[in-house]
Amino acid sequence: MSHNRFGTEITTDDILEALAFFDTWEDRYKYIIDLGKELPPMDATLKTEAHLVRGCQSQVWLVEHKDGERYFFEADSDAFIVKGLLGVVLAAYNGKSADEIRQFDIDAYFGQLNLLKHLSPTRGNGLQAMVKRIQALAA
């Protein structure tokens, strides 16, 4: 299992701060795409039907690992922007306990990012599908 830096070294506060720094959405998209490049590559053997996240326009795979009480996630997508969005989501949830995952106000976080209104409806639905999958795992 390869550990990614989201949620441990790259936090929601880091992402909020970085996105606030950019003046245009074009620059914010570039930053989000760059975040996706921080995700370690997922082993091809994990890219199975069982790990596919339903409701995403692109192919998205999400695999959870538990270490004690903490959840760690491996994630990948065939789309650069979606890999970045996975990073945005994992910053909130990776390395957290089930209670922390349940208690995190993802809607407020997305609201602060002002992200959903700048994504296509299908991308926004995919983002919500990723969140629902992680929340279901922690339920």
Distances from the Cα of 107 to the Cα of 102, 112, 131, angstroms: 12, 9, 10
Residue 56 is among the residues annotated as catalytic for this protein: yes
56, 86, 106, 130: which is the annotated catalytic residue? 56
Q: What is the SS3 string spanning the chain?
A: CCCCCECCCECHHHHHHHHHHCCCHHHHHHHHHHHHCCCCCCCHHHCCHHHECCCCCCCEEEEEEEECCEEEEEEEECCHHHHHHHHHHHHHHCCEEHHHHHHCCHHHHHHHHCCHHHCCHHHHHHHHHHHHHHHHHHC
Kindly state the tokens that stand for 68. Answer: 């004690």
Which residues are tagged catalytic?
56
